[in-house]
Structure 1
Amino acid sequence: MITGFSVAVAVSSLVVAGWSFVLAARGREPQRALLAGLAVVETLLVAQLVIGIVLLISGQHPGSLVTYLAYLIGSLLVVPAGTVWALAERSRSSTVVLGITCVAIPVMVLRLYQVWSGTHA
């Protein structure tokens, strides 16, 4: 894994999460700009998938291949699932759902990094 890129994914996701929580505190529903922020996070996750596959093809291997692939692919599904859930009923609560979705991404990226490096912290 590329540490710097993993940090960039986690930080960008936390920025969007903070943005979501501020909007929720103001009582606003998800706006187009917030959805664009989510699209940026998802794009970074797709890039992370490509990087992960390239590293596997180049001969590098994580501690557990199955767990690594599960986190790599699973992280791609979190943002779309949270977005669909939030947009099903646009309200202040749906903005909170998007914030929680974005908080889950750094956790998954951390686990992905731990599985890659073979640590189990």
Structure 2
Amino acid sequence: MSPWVLGAVLVLCGITVIVLVVHLVRDRAAEDSMFVLLGVTELVLLGQLVAGCVALANTERDVDGTLFVSYLVGVALALPIGAFWSLAERTRAGTAVVLLAVLTVVALEVRLDAIWAGAA
């Protein structure tokens, strides 16, 4: 697993969190530009899913493969689920749902890094 990908995901999530908090404070629903930012983050997460599976197949490390792949899939699904929920709820609550999805990605990424490092 590349620390660059982890860093990229965390930076993108940090930018997204700032934008979402501003929208929540201003009592605004999620806008299209926000979904573009989520799409870019999702592309990085899908790349991480593929690269993580390849890295798992080629590693000599003691990594629980089932747990690792399930976290990779889970982190890749969190943003689309939050985005679709937000599209169904075009209010401030929908923006809060996207914020929770982004924070979930951050938590899963930290745990994914720990799993790769060998912490069970």
TM-score range (shorter-chain normalised) is over 0.9
CA RMSD of aligned residues (A): 1.3
The farther-off stretch of 49-58 and 71-80 is 49-58
Q: Residue 116 of structure 1 corresponds to which residue in structure 2? A: 116
Show structure 1 runs of 5+ residues with no match: none
Give the alignment's TM-score, normalised by structure 1: 0.92
Higher relative contact order (CA 8 A, sep 6+): 1
Moved over 3 A (4+): 59-62
Q: Residue 106 of structure 2 corresponds to which residue in structure 1? A: 106
Q: Residue 17 of structure 1 corresponds to which residue in structure 2? A: 17
Q: Which amino acid aligns with 1:30?
A: A
The farther-off stretch of 33-42 and 62-71 is 62-71
Shift of 1:99: 1.1
Q: Give deviations 1:30-82, integer Å, cap 9, x for gaps.
A: 11100101101101100111210221232344521111011000101100110
Show structure 2 runs of 5+ residues with no match: none
Identity %: 29
Q: How many residues align?
A: 120
Q: Which amino acid aligns with 1:107?
A: A
Rounded Cα–Cα distance in structure 1 between residues aligned with 2:42 and 2:60 = 24
